[in-house]
Amino acid sequence: MTAQTAELSTAGRQANSNGTNDNGMTDRPAPAAPLLDPFQRAISYLRVSVTDRCDFRCVYCMSEDMSFLPKAEVLSLEELDRLCSAFVGLGVRKLRLTGGEPLVRRNILWLIERLGRHLGTGALDELTLTTNGSQLARYAEPLVAAGVRRVNVSLDTLDPDKFAAITRWGRLDKVLDGLAAAKAAGLEIKINAVALKGVNDDEIHRLVAWCGEEGFDLTFIEVMPMGDIGTEQRLGQYWPLSLVRGELAKRWTLEESDHRTGGPARYSLCRETGRRIGFITPLTHNFCESCNRVRLTCTGTLFLCLGQEDAADLRAPLRASPSESGDDAALTGAIREAITRKPKGHDFVIDRRRRSATAVPRHMSVTGG
């Protein structure tokens, strides 16, 4: 550990343990009017992409030869802390860190520890992350110490050869070691599996059984038309979850559940395993009517909808007033103005009659998973 990393980590632990900043002042945000969009949906969930970089190149998420952002365009960890804290002060109760792969960001544990202070004050209900699992063996215990209690791990197959083909650069054994470490550390784990026709359609029963054995929940996700990976490849991947659910019903008893995690998944309880199975269906049955989420990129761009291009630049107001000034009025004003433009729903569609199977040009890794 470098001196800088040690200093940042220590500062994060101190802030997390006593809820104060370096000047001894409380970090508890002042009560503020809630963030309401034009359809009176309260925005209480912020997903934050801390980096666009990843140590995998999943075929449905990235092109093989990705061009990543110059480091100069990426917000510092201190800036990300300030931005996230501004959202918490405006009523956001759940923060999810994403990427790319969030755990490949240098000194990321400092940010997680800093954000954990809001759990201590009661301003934040949950701090969590979505990861590919490659770094969990290293980070599982520190994550728990920082206040993280639950993680989502992206895992589409239990076949090592298929895993290598889907991720291009990944190794299944490394992810399984990370899952074992996370489980041992006490993290609650949910597996996210993208349903890919012709790829993992012969494994869905195996995934359900394995998650039951391991004590993991499981969510299936429809492939989303984001980023240019080739029209025919995208169309070939698409497997509607209505068909997935029908296939699962041949072997498993799925009972409706009112369980909610704050995200878009709708859950059933699998009677045979005792675990929950979720379904995220942006195409066959969108979940826009109850959307409580916005997404912040590592450049400070706020996307108001995953499937729309309208966005707000929060980096400019963030940097216009230095953090030492203590004045976030311009920043919170920009956030509130952006929320007034949140659309009713997305435009995701996959249709062979269209010339493109890409609804939005940016890759999922740019916005955050």
Task: List binding-site positions.
Answer: 47, 54, 58, 60-61, 96, 100, 130, 154, 190, 224, 288, 291, 293-295, 305
CA distance 33 to 14: 29
Q: Cite the beta strand spans of 143-243 per DSSP E.
A: 150-154, 188-195, 217-222
Q: Can you state the angle between helices 329-339 and 77-89, rounded to 10 degrees?
A: 70
Q: Can you say which residues are annotated as belonging to the binding site for GTP? A: 47, 96, 130, 190, 293-295
Contact, 102 vs 1, CB < 8 A?
no
Residues within the annotated binding site for [4Fe-4S] cluster? 54, 58, 61, 288, 291, 305
From residue 185, give the alpha-carbon distance in Å to each of 77, 142, 159, 310, 369.
Answer: 25, 9, 25, 40, 24
Q: How many CB atoms lie within 10 A of CB 141?
A: 16
In single-letter form, the type of residue at position 296 comes to: L
Are residues 222 and 240 in contact, defined by beta-carbon separation less than 8 angstroms? Answer: yes
- Contact yes or no for 175/134 (Cβ under 8 A): yes
CB of 113 closer than 8 Å to CB of 148: no
Using only the alpha carbons of the chain, give its radius of gyration: 20
